[in-house]
Amino acid sequence: MSRVGLLFGSFNPVHIGHLILAEYFATRTDLAEVWLVVTPHNPFKAAAGLLPDAERLRLVQLAIAGNPRLRADDVEFGLPRPSYTIATLDALRQRHPATDFVLLMGADNLAGLPRWQEAARLLAEIDIYVYPRFGSTPVDVAAFPRARVLAAPLLDISATYVRESLRTGRSIRYLVPAAVEAELLK
Ligand SMILES: Nc1ncnc2c1ncn2[C@@H]1O[C@H](COP(=O)(O)OP(=O)(O)OP(=O)(O)O)[C@@H](O)[C@H]1O
Ligand SMILES: O=C(O)c1ccc[n+]([C@@H]2O[C@H](COP(=O)([O-])O)[C@@H](O)[C@H]2O)c1
């Protein structure tokens, strides 16, 4: 079974922090590929400043074009909202029965995972590769038997910073791939 890492996000927009992370997991671990799963707009969260779902997906596709180890996935667009990771995982497993999925997660998100939908089943069913994040409080990874911390590079870049740069007319060159920059500046 090929092992595929899942990187979930709003990707509003995708930036080099996401891409360097995805490439790290796709080429320096036992994973064959990493799929960037674009989360649709959460109806319980403010939509202000959120690019339409299809546009965020398109930007991810542009960003990873030509990379055989990365894929953009829109499975959550067709699932009930909000998107629960366990439901997404069930849908992905049904579509790709020969794939062994691994959850990629920032150290900042791991602590909250026990409160997610069907957390006990999620934690029992999937390996989790944890990457460091700036400012995240240390979490006891030993409490998560299927979680491992990997030394992915840490970049202090966020989609918020890219959006703020766009809003104030500052450069986003190198923060996003050139094709994404061109699309955002159209
Ligand atoms: N610079 C980065 N380095 C490592 N991981 C990142 C980085 N930026 C985002 N991520 C991770 O990628 C996942 C998806 O990111 P998301 O779309 O939420 O981007 P973001 O840049 O954090 O967005 P925003 O600034 O809008 O909150 C998140 O779970 C987050 O942990
Ligand atoms: O499954 C859940 O209950 C659940 C609860 C909170 C967050 N998540 C997932 O974690 C990712 C980050 O969530 P958030 O709220 O920190 O943006 C997002 O892509 C969700 O799919 C999942």
What residues contact residue 99 under an 8 Å CB cut-off, 6+ apart?
1, 2, 3, 4, 92, 93
| Exposure of 178 in the CB half-sphere (CA atoms within 13 A) | 0
Q: Which residue has the higher pLDDT, 166 or 136?
A: 166
ipTM value for the complex: 0.94
Number of neighbouring beta carbons within 10 Å of residue 73:
20
pLDDT tens profile 63-112: 999 999 999 999 999 999 989 999 999 999 999 999 999 999 999 899 99
**Which 3 state secondary structure label does DSSP give 27?**
helix
Give all strands (DSSP E) within the chain, no chain letters: 2-9, 33-38, 70-73, 99-106, 127-131, 147-149
* pLDDT tens track for 156-166: 999 999 999 99
For residue 83, the ligand 2 atom closest to its alpha carbon is 21
**Pocket lining: 18 vs ligand 1, CB cutoff 6 Å:** yes
Atom of ligand 1 nearest to the CA of 11: 17
